[in-house]
Structure 1
């Protein structure tokens, strides 16, 4: 749907915030931090209305039914999964005025918020208080005739299979993901992928396909170092089939982004993609496990706004992140 993003949110008194709070984020960190964060915001003069999520996609239901005309800012207190649910609530809310979104990172990965130059809870609160926000593209993907939305990344194949296996062990944090990587390497099988990228048909025998709107995934992996969330384009990354030893050697490079230099990696820039795979594969939009191929994926430029912090001037020795 077509939304009109609200102008810059007022500061302090008379600012109405809808705070979406996932108590399970970050292995319980969110639950521990919630009273402190709520007090900080109210002491700063904000009118804060908290909403505690009780089950999966509850945040989507909450935001979908909010009166956005009477909301100055949305706060997502959680991780990438909570932010994903909040976004889908916004995109399915019938009102056209969309307030800016503040991300306060208390999840396991906290990937997309890093693109906002926010790395800690304190920085998330400070970004809201400073009041600067910028437009971000949204990617719509349609699976089984149903549209969903993400702002970070989505893949299928090896990367989604790792997420699928590690999901029950999420309390172990990055350890669970590392275990999933090792397991799926042992089970590695290529998939046949057919894509229509902005009208051009391509085929790959691939280990995975990733649709990228931003740099980070799984917290500290630079899956798409050249992605920009506000350029009206997505990066479609394909890892063509390589054997286990080569994947084992190449995979660690994802932490600094140098994996894209591998000859088996192909990156397309696109606005609209139709994709199918053989066999059919599960997807992992913004780290969540649902959706299956075939998919239709489309960029929606500048659909929402997120609070951010300015990056410090490297020449200023006294500046902090």
Structure 2
């Protein structure tokens, strides 16, 4: 049964996927103009610069639904804008994924780079209540994330893929992530020293330290265009999923780990630890590793805190995703 989206704003990045975002935005505009009963009101807002999507979303206090059309970076901006709106008035988020990685759409079970199918899923979808991750809560640098946060080799690769996309490489998704990995691996195999403490799912405090090349604190399943770093992550369970290396594998084994992670088959590796948590503090006593949040670079600093914000955002998900994801329905 088709839904009614109420007062609807589409925030679209026309430059997404080498300009295909503009064509997708035009398709969506024509759809809503032809199906006026699908919304009470409809606005199409195009972004022009980094940070613009967050600004537009923060102004959407009178909207019922905000549709983010673009890649994971745009979705992250829209989420951070929506979180500036008080809970009572916060619009429901919907996503039309038009990016290179599209990792949040993968976790949600949504169509990727297919605006017609994504729009159908929105109109036929169901509303879910999702958690968010929060980086450096309560500080001027506070930032929410909806899918992925990591420090180390994986973050360096994610940042490199972003830079290469900006340079209009023809590679996309996992292929782009893999070739960036080969480029960076030789420089980063020594790892980065860290000390961390966290509260696990049962409330116990744990302390860990070592040299990390992979340190991911995930809200969703994947990063890098489908690498399932935490394949059991549930974005509505009130927990963040942790994956980090407890020993330093040699370069060939590191490459193999990333290959296995493509299918979520790395979870039995003796080099990796998996856990769930509600809060984490991490400190880098030596060189600060690269960090990424939903695929975008994190400003480098010695200490970060990471928290979960449970059930703070309503999201429209495809109905067929309910079987594969343990998402909390409203």
| TM-score, with length taken from structure 2 | 0.86
1-structure distance, mates of 2:105, 2:213 = 27
Residues 292-303 of structure 1: pairs in structure 2 closer than 5 A: 292-293=300-301, 294-303=303-312
Give the root-mean-square deviation of aligned CA atoms.
2.1
2:66/2:94 contact within 8 Å kept: yes
1-structure distance, mates of 2:195, 2:164 = 32
**1:101 and 2:99 are equivalent in the alignment:** no
User: Pick from 128, 132, 147: which aligns with 1:152?
Assistant: 147
Cα 1:29–1:245 shift into 2, 3 Å = same
* Partner in structure 2 of residue 60 of structure 1: 54
**1:130 Cα deviation after fit:** 2.0
User: Pick from 216, 239, 245: which aligns with 2:245?
Assistant: 239
2:132/2:145 contact within 8 Å kept: yes
* Partner in structure 1 of residue 134 of structure 2: 140
* Partner in structure 2 of residue 287 of structure 1: 295
2-structure distance, mates of 1:227, 1:212 = 7
User: Pick from 21, 25, 35: which aligns with 2:12?
Assistant: 21
2-structure distance, mates of 1:127, 1:16 = 18
Cα 1:98–1:114 shift into 2, 3 Å = same
**1:186 Cα deviation after fit:** 1.3
Cα 1:254–1:145 shift into 2, 3 Å = same
**1:158 Cα deviation after fit:** 0.3
* Partner in structure 1 of residue 326 of structure 2: none
**1:79 and 2:71 are equivalent in the alignment:** yes
2-structure distance, mates of 1:273, 1:133 = 29
Count the aligned residue pairs. 302
* Unpaired stretches in structure 2, ≥5 consecutive residues: 200-204, 324-330
SS at match of 1:126: helix
SS at match of 1:311: helix
1:102/1:127 contact within 8 Å kept: no
Cα 1:202–1:123 shift into 2, 3 Å = same
* Partner in structure 2 of residue 311 of structure 1: 320
Cα 1:313–1:55 shift into 2, 3 Å = closer
* Partner in structure 2 of residue 5 of structure 1: none
Deviations along 1:202-233, whole A, 9 cap, x unmatched? 11222120011111222222121010000000
2-structure distance, mates of 1:90, 1:99 = 7
1-structure distance, mates of 2:116, 2:210 = 44
SS at match of 1:149: strand
2-structure distance, mates of 1:183, 1:286 = 21
